[in-house]
Amino acid sequence: MPDYSIGVDMGGTNLRIAAIGKDGQLLEKITTDVKLAMGRDYVIGEMCDAIRRLTEKYRASGRFLGAGIGVPGIIDVEAGIMRKSANLPGWTDYPVRDVIERSLGSRIFLDNDANMAALGEKWLGAGRDADNLAMLTLGTGIGGCIILNGKVFYGMSGMAGEFGHVTVEPNGVPCGCGNRGCAERYASATGIVRMAREAIGSGEAPELAKAANSDPEFSARSIYDLAMHGDAPAQRIFQRFGEVLGMLLADLVNVLDLEMFVIGGGVVSAWDAFAPRMFAELRERSLVYAASAPEDPMAKKEGASAAIANYTRKKTIITQALLGSDAGLYGAARIPASQ
Amino acid sequence: MPDYSIGVDMGGTNLRIAAIGKDGQLLEKITTDVKLAMGRDYVIGEMCDAIRRLTEKYRASGRFLGAGIGVPGIIDVEAGIMRKSANLPGWTDYPVRDVIERSLGSRIFLDNDANMAALGEKWLGAGRDADNLAMLTLGTGIGGCIILNGKVFYGMSGMAGEFGHVTVEPNGVPCGCGNRGCAERYASATGIVRMAREAIGSGEAPELAKAANSDPEFSARSIYDLAMHGDAPAQRIFQRFGEVLGMLLADLVNVLDLEMFVIGGGVVSAWDAFAPRMFAELRERSLVYAASAPEDPMAKKEGASAAIANYTRKKTIITQALLGSDAGLYGAARIPASQ
């Protein structure tokens, strides 16, 4: 029977909790609603109850190593404090870790959901064989995380990996961060819907307009379906998405030269609609990528590019995440398991 | 008498060699021409002779710890091989380190000039008190180096820190790397001259045109002088320079969240002409910078920005390099001194 830890992934709507063995076996997974309207203390109480139920159930199976909790927002990881979260307005500056630690009497680790997802992919997913990688989680925005030597690279203020706010269009769409033309205004689920509404507004996307009017849940998914059925305006949106993601990845390869970039988040299921353009852009905009790109007959292997390729023989790998929405759960469980 | 090491900075025109004490005292500095036309072996022979003269002279003063050699180009640092250099065409794939090591019988370290300059600034210059910093050397292009925990971060292929090829203008000026709108096509000495010739071509920069016609050495320096004398087209070039550098820095702060960014290279002497615009752009385009910016009455400290500022109380420092063209010499001498 393995020692085990608990991983928690707290979103704006779902709370997911899993007991996971030290070697990565999923023992049990619970999913419940987050009753945000009941207030912070109620939600944390429910989380603690669920963790307690699991640790009591698996008490006999092995040693309980602690729990990792992934939350959306800006986290002071050292202090265990939630600084700010768009989804959890009443939690500002709340010492989430210490409160839960006192309630449960066990070791608790708090970090943001993007870092947890990256740790999960590093442990059991696409990043298993890479020590240095970055993960981009494409959702409402772009969650980012850099892992160096197997550990999260936080930067000075814990803010490293804000890939979503890299400028891809100097005079582009305004962003809530104060910048214009941030990558996440294009290469995210929200970006896809925004671009679709823009196309509808221009009057040149009748099928998109029809779908938006008839479908109360008009989403990136609906736009993808139209693109797959040959609708040119919908296809152009995924082309633009791929172009921006390729530009962003090129910047990241040029700056970081990491072994691997893992792309996760729900929109990754639209890979076939955006990836060809993404790779084309990446090759054109990053000499380092072009030099090291795997199986790429189009890469210009001349001059500096050939010089890099000659001696590295290493490949920059750009790949889809493998664990889907469970990545954050595994990553959260990994922290206590690896201490 | 201190133990000492030798730092070598080999450029396309000058070869500079210094004996430097283990604690950073400059014992002696030699500058000679590089006689590239005489061929690779001749140049390396001259370098070895000069190193030998210095080590013989200081033999009595302390233990000789080895030599570091900074060269322009793509270096395989582990193997000690020069892979490619635009300035040294006959040196491709040449095992520079081993050849010199055999000739001198002492430990030799080879790295590129941008990394050496960053190590120098880290040791004795602007970066003395920072463990995590990046240096941007603005010259022909933009040399870049990331230092983490006091050591150069090389990335997978030794290509980390290619800041000059971050895209700042998606459909901008073509670059030799295959990309368009690379930062170094604007924010470098070459970029300044390029933008001046563009302005002259448009017929709207009579003073610049006059200077270009009368001055055979028309350079970033001449354009700076015009800007300082109030010439609007020359001023606009430095505004654009500052804008692009600010955009690049914003991307780097968003991705890396380092303590310090050191700006070096000859063009830094034009700081007053480009820095105000650079800082304005940086504040607008990086929430992390705006939150942590020192003494900045303009910074929007609301929402996420305030959340970051509240708990970090750390400042992102953007500053000029302090060691000028000696940075590379000191950095090169630092490697053997710190082994």
* A239 at interface of B, judged by CB pairs closer than 8 A: no
Nearest to A156 among B305, B307, B314 (CB): B314
Partner residue opposite A179 with nearest CB, options B177, B179, B285: B285
Q: What is the rounded distance in angstroms from the CA atom of residue B162 to the CA atom of residue B145?
A: 8
The candidate with the shortest Cα–Cα distance to B289, out of A177, A97, A240, is: A177
Q: CA-to-CA distance for A120 and A331, rounded, in angstroms?
A: 4
B76-85 CB contacts, 8 Å cutoff, 24+ apart: B76/A311, B76/B158, B77/B110, B77/B111, B77/B154, B77/B158, B79/A311, B80/B108, B80/B109, B80/B110, B81/A311, B81/B110, B82/B110, B83/A307, B83/A308, B83/A310, B83/A311, B84/A303, B84/A304, B84/A307
- Which residues from chain B sit within 8 angstroms of residue A251, using beta carbons? 166-167, 251, 255
User: pLDDT of B228-275, one tens digit each?
Assistant: 999 999 999 999 999 999 999 999 999 999 999 999 999 999 999 999
Interface probe with A: pick from B167, B245, B298, B301, most Cβ of A within 10 Å? B167
pLDDT (0 to 100) of residue B84: 85
- Which pLDDT tens digit goes with each residue over B33-82? 888 889 999 999 999 999 999 999 998 889 999 999 999 888 999 999 99
Q: Is B170 on the interface with A (CB under 8 A)?
A: yes
In this chain, the answer to whether the domains covering A4-124+326-338 and A133-321 adopt an identical fold is yes
What was the pLDDT predicted at B314? 75
Question: Residue B196: left if φ>0, alpha if ψ -120 to 50, beta else—which one?
Answer: alpha
Size of interface A-B (CB pairs under 8 A): 181
Domain ranges of chain B: 4-124+326-338, 133-321
Substitution target from A311, A314, A315, A317 for chain B, most B beta carbons within 10 A: A311
Q: Give residue A306's Cα distance to chain centre.
A: 33
User: What DSSP state is assigned to residue A94?
Assistant: B
Whether residue A252 lies within 8 A of chain B, CB to CB, comes out as yes
Min Cα separation B203/chain A (Å): 26
| pLDDT, tens digit (0-9, with 9 covering 90-100), for B114-171 | 999 999 999 999 999 999 999 999 998 999 999 999 999 999 999 999 999 999 999 9
- Chain A's closest residue to B299, CA to CA, is A178
* pLDDT of B339: 82
Q: Output the pLDDT for position B303.
A: 58
- pLDDT value of residue A11: 83
What is B4-124+326-338's CATH topology? Nucleotidyltransferase; domain 5 (3.30.420)
Q: Does B165 touch chain A (CB under 8 A)?
A: yes
Identify the segments of chain A with pLDDT beneath 50. 296-300
- For A119-142, give one letter per residue: b (16+ CB within 10 A) or e: bbbbbbbbbeebebbbbbbbbbbb
* pLDDT for B241: 98
Identify whether the C-beta of residue B144 lies closer than 8 Å to the C-beta of residue B135: yes
CB contacts under 8 A, B 263-302 vs A, are 284-288, 290-292, 300
Which residues in chain A have Cβ-Cβ distances shorter than 8 Å to B166?
251, 254-255
Per DSSP, the three-state class of B20 is strand
The SS3 assignment for B94 reads strand
User: pLDDT by residue (tens digit) across B281-299?
Assistant: 999 999 889 887 655 444 4
- The pTM for the full model equals 0.93
Q: Which residues contact B174 (CB under 8 A, 6 or more apart)?
A: B180
CATH of domain A133-321: 3.30.420.40
According to the model, what pLDDT value does residue B304 have?
62
CB contact under 8 A, A286 and B314: no
Scanning the structure block, which residue is given the tokens 């002696």?
A: B28
Q: How many CA within 13 A on the CB side of residue B272?
A: 5
The verdict on a CB contact (< 8 Å) between B179 and A74 is: no
Written as six digits, the tokens of B83 are 């892979």
Mean pLDDT rounded to a whole number for chain B = 92
